[in-house]
Amino acid sequence: MTAAFSQPDLNASGSSGSPEPSRFQRPRRLGDTVVTYLVDRIVSGAYPVDSALPTEPELCQEFAVSRTVIRESIKLLEAKGLVKATPGRGTRVLEPIGWNLLDPLVLEAQIRHDSELSILDDLINVRAALECDMAAQCARVITPAQSEALAKQANILAESLPDPERYAREDVTFHEMIMLASGNRLGHAIIHGIHAKARLSSRYNGEPNKDELAQSLAEHRQIESMILQGDAQGAAAAMRVHILGSWARRRPGVRGALGGDAEG
């Protein structure tokens, strides 16, 4: 049997499921792809909580790999908090509360299979909390050179308004500059990781219209203004309005789900 694998489609609007292994070409690192498939099946519910994964021989046959590859894959699943291998009970799926959602594979699968978008709602709330704090700190410590660079980036963002794809790229740069200027390296690392994965999903990005982009730009200008004035409280409030409001405008299905009181 020839094993072949593929990363499940992150841009699917719903639960895509993972393709059958026999349909794809053998990758360079079989273990990584076995883990990708098993993560997808666990998160999707194909392997329910407390159910046992297929036995080693069954997985070896399905993926056409050695027992060593399967055992290494199971260890990686354990490290992600997804399963527990116990002698006499096999490898069983653990409760979602213990899953490592900062792990890229777990987060990607969670976003892909979350029909209610609750994981994206949670991500937005975490992002708002961290970025509001970083915006406030940025207003306190930003240097003249960083202030000049941020003002220039805000102008570039305005120039990009007619081109939504370019606007999205410049938007990310604007936020990155604020996080870096704040000096909060851990906060930046967390946001950089989870936001990068979320942006791979079409359900996160949406399709903003002209009016929504104009609103987004106005919110960025307000953030810029508060930071350059050194108003930490105002910068945090403006960032919150922007992140929560932007998600409420573009969230699929339920507009205004987060209150609309206040990303890009």
Give the fold, CATH level 3, of 21-98: Arc Repressor Mutant, subunit A (1.10.10)
What's the confidence (pLDDT) of residue 30? 65
Residues of the chain with CATH 1.20.120.530: 116-250
Q: For residues 9-24, b (16+ Cβ closer than 10 Å) or e, as one string?
A: ebeeeebeebbebeee
Measured at the CA of 128, the angle between CA 126 and CA 131, to 5 degrees, comes to: 105
What's the confidence (pLDDT) of residue 15? 43
The predicted model scores a pTM of 0.75
Query: Is-contact 70 90, C-beta < 8 A?
Result: no
* CA 38 – CA 77 distance, rounded (Å): 8
pLDDT profile of the chain (264 residues), mean per 10: 39 43 48 90 96 95 94 96 92 96 90 88 94 98 98 97 93 96 95 82 79 95 98 98 92 49 42
What's the confidence (pLDDT) of residue 80? 97
Q: Tokens 């299979």 appear where?
A: 113
What's the confidence (pLDDT) of residue 28? 47
What's the confidence (pLDDT) of residue 29? 66
Residues of the chain with CATH 1.10.10.10: 21-98
SS3 assignment, position 17? coil
- Provide the H-helix boundaries in the chain: 30-44, 56-63, 67-79, 104-113, 118-141, 144-159, 164-182, 185-198, 202-205, 210-228, 232-250
Domain 116-250 in CATH: superfamily?
Answer: GntR ligand-binding domain-like (1.20.120.530)
Q: Tokens 């329910």 appear where?
A: 48
Q: For residues 136-173, b (16+ Cβ closer than 10 Å) or e, as one string?
A: bbbbeebeeebbeebeebbeebeebeeebeebbebbee
What's the confidence (pLDDT) of residue 253? 63
